[in-house]
A and B are shown apart, each in its own frame.
Chain A
C-alpha cells in the first residue's frame, strides 16, 4: 500500500516547491511507481511513492533533501523514467523528485563550445535548439525521444553513435549535484565548469555518474557541443552465417575509420523476430542468418572516404549490401524498434500483446558467440515453462568510445506478457535475470553496459562482479548519505548501514 505522509510534511513540501508542484493523488503517484523494465504489476502498490514534487531550482531540491533527512523519508530522483534497471522505482515509497520542470537551456557558450542545461531537458528537444547554431549534442540512446539529461547522468548511459562521439560520461563536462545531505556542489574534471581534462583532485565526475540516484540529485549540467554533422552514412550487410557476420563486425569496428559512429550485429533470432512484421526484413531470404549495420557521421568529404572503406570491408567479408532503402530507413528507425507490443507470439504462434524488455551487458568481442548461445538457452527455458515469454533475439553494439573494438553492448530482447505476472512467473523471471548476469561475468564481461545493474536478480551478483570495489561503494554511500535517504534499497547498499 502507498504510505501517507504526515500532513505537516506535505505542508513543508508545499512551502518549498509551491502548491502546484506537490502531488499526493493516485494518478500522480501510481504513474511514478514504475519504469519500462519488467514490473511486478501484481504488486504495483508496493512501489507507489507517498508524494511527488516537481521542483524548479537547485535550492528547492536542496531544501526537499534537507527536509527528508530531518524526517528520515526516502527520496527518489526521477527524470524521463525510461531507465531499465528500476533506478527511478521507489522501493520504500517516500518522495519522488521529478526533475522534468528543470528543462531550460541556461547558457550557450560559443567560445568554449558548451551548453548548460537543467536535468529535465530531453536530447531531441535540446538538439532542435542547437541546430539553429550549427551544433549537436550527440548523446543518442534508442530512448532519444524520451530520456532526459538527468537520467542519462544517473545511469551513465550508452549512445548509438558513441564510437564517434563518446557516451554520456564523455559528453557531460561537469554538473551541479545536491548531495544526500542537501549541500549543492559542482563536480567535473577539476573545478572548472567547462574544463575537459584536469588532474586536480579526485575525478568526482565519474563517481557521481551512474549511481542511479543513490548519491544525490543533479540539478544542472554543462555539456559538450559538437559541430552538426554535414553527412550521415549507414550501411546494412547480410550474411549467410552468424559467425561470418561476427568476424565482419570485428573487421569493421577495427577499421580505424575516424567517422565510424557504431557497428551493430543482429543474430538469427533477431532476424526471425523481425521477419514477423518488419517491412525491411520480411522480404529477406531465410538463408540470411546475420546482419550488420554500421553508421558514420561528420564532414561530408571525410564520411565519403570512410564509407568507401567500410563498404570494401563489408564486401570483402562476404556481406551483401542490403540497398539504400533498408540501410538508410532502418538506421533512421533506430529509436523505434522497441515499443512494438504486437510482435509478441505465444508458443502456438498467436499474436499477444507483450512488452519489450532489454537485458544488456558489456561482453568482450571474443565471447559474443558463446554468450549468445547461453543467453538464448536461458530464454528458451523460460518460454518452455511459461507461455508469456518470447525470445526477440540479440543485438551486439560497439561499446567503446572512440576505440570501439574491445567490448560490445550485448542485448537480448525478451517479450513479456505482463498482465500474466504472478508470484511464480515473477520468481522465474528474476532467476533468469540472475542467470543472464552470471553468464556475463563468467565470460569476463560486466552485468550492464548502459542500464545499470540494480534490479532484483542481477543485483545479487554486483558484489561478485565488483569485488573489493563494492566495499568501497558501501563506504562512500555511508559517508555521503548517513541517513540512507537517497534512493534506499538500490544496489544492496542497505548493507552499508547494517554493517555499521
Chain B
C-alpha cells in the first residue's frame, strides 16, 4: 500500500490576498472562510486534492486549445516582435 498520512496532507494556514479571498498555495485562491458559514460550509481539502484539482484544470485547458487548433500563438512574443520592429527614437 502507498504511504498516506493525513497529517502530512494538511494545507498551510490561509493568507488573505484580496477582499473575500484567501490563498494557501501560490496562485490557488479560496473564498474567505468567514463567508462560508451560513448557507454553504467550506470543506477541508488535503494537499493532494488541491494539487489534483489544479493539475486537472491545466490539463483541461491544454485539451481545449488542442481541440480547436494545432498551435497557440503567444501575444507576449508578438509584442516583443512589435517592439523590436519600432524604429529607434
- Interface of A toward B, CB cutoff 8 Å: 124, 127-128, 131, 136, 140, 228-235, 275-277, 279, 282-283, 297, 300, 303-304, 307-308, 311-312, 321, 323-324, 327-329, 332-333, 335-336, 342, 345-346, 349-353
Partner of A235, one of B19, B39, B65, B75: B75
For B40, the closest partner residue in chain A by CB is A351
For B67, the closest partner residue in chain A by CB is A127
Partner of A277, one of B31, B68, B78: B31
Q: Are B74 and A324 in contact (CB under 8 A)?
A: yes
Residues of A near B35 (CB, < 8 A) are 345, 349-351
Residues of B near A300 (CB, < 8 A) are 70-71, 73
Over the window 52-89 of chain B, the binary record of Cβ atoms lying under 8 Å from chain A Cβ atoms (1 yes, 0 no) is: 00000000111011011111111110110110000000
Partner of A276, one of B20, B28, B73: B20
**Interface positions of B from 22 to 43, Cβ below 8 Å from A:** 27-31, 35-40
Name 17 A/B residue pairs within 8 A (Cβ), A-sorted. A131-B67, A228-B69, A228-B70, A229-B70, A231-B70, A232-B72, A235-B75, A275-B19, A276-B31, A279-B27, A282-B17, A307-B73, A321-B75, A328-B61, A332-B62, A333-B64, A349-B35
Residue B18 lies at the interface, judged by CB distance under 8 Å to chain A: yes
Partner of B82, one of A228, A311, A328: A311
Residues of B near A124 (CB, < 8 A) are 67
Q: Are B70 and A353 in contact (CB under 8 A)?
A: no
Residues of B near A234 (CB, < 8 A) are 75
Q: How far is the CB of B82 from chain A (nearest CB, A)?
A: 6
A336 to B61 CA separation, bound complex (whole angstroms): 10
Given known pairs A276-B21, A321-B79, A342-B31, the reply for A351 and B36 (CB within 8 Å) is yes
Q: Are A231 and B75 in contact (CB under 8 A)?
A: no
A249 to B37 CA separation, bound complex (whole angstroms): 40
Residues of B near A351 (CB, < 8 A) are 31, 35-36, 39-40
Residues of B near A282 (CB, < 8 A) are 17-18, 21, 29
For B77, the closest partner residue in chain A by CB is A324
Main secondary structure of the interface of B (DSSP, over half): mixed
Q: Are A232 and B40 in contact (CB under 8 A)?
A: no
A117 to B75 CA separation, bound complex (whole angstroms): 37
Number of interface residues of B (CB under 8 A): 35
Given known pairs A276-B20, A307-B78, the reply for A332 and B64 (CB within 8 Å) is yes
For A295, the closest partner residue in chain B by CB is B68
A304 to B69 CA separation, bound complex (whole angstroms): 14
Q: Are B72 and A231 in contact (CB under 8 A)?
A: yes
Q: Are A304 and B78 in contact (CB under 8 A)?
A: yes
A303 to B82 CA separation, bound complex (whole angstroms): 15
A230 to B65 CA separation, bound complex (whole angstroms): 11
Other than the given A232-B68, A275-B19, 4 more pairs (CB < 8 A) read: A277-B29, A308-B82, A345-B35, A346-B39
Partner of B71, one of A230, A323, A353: A230
A135 to B6 CA separation, bound complex (whole angstroms): 48
For B17, the closest partner residue in chain A by CB is A282
Q: How far is the CB of B25 from chain A (nearest CB, A)?
A: 11
Q: Are A312 and B82 in contact (CB under 8 A)?
A: yes
Residues of A near B70 (CB, < 8 A) are 228-231, 300
Q: Are A304 and B73 in contact (CB under 8 A)?
A: yes
Residues of B near A304 (CB, < 8 A) are 73, 78
Partner of B72, one of A128, A328, A333, A345: A328
Q: Are A275 and B18 in contact (CB under 8 A)?
A: yes
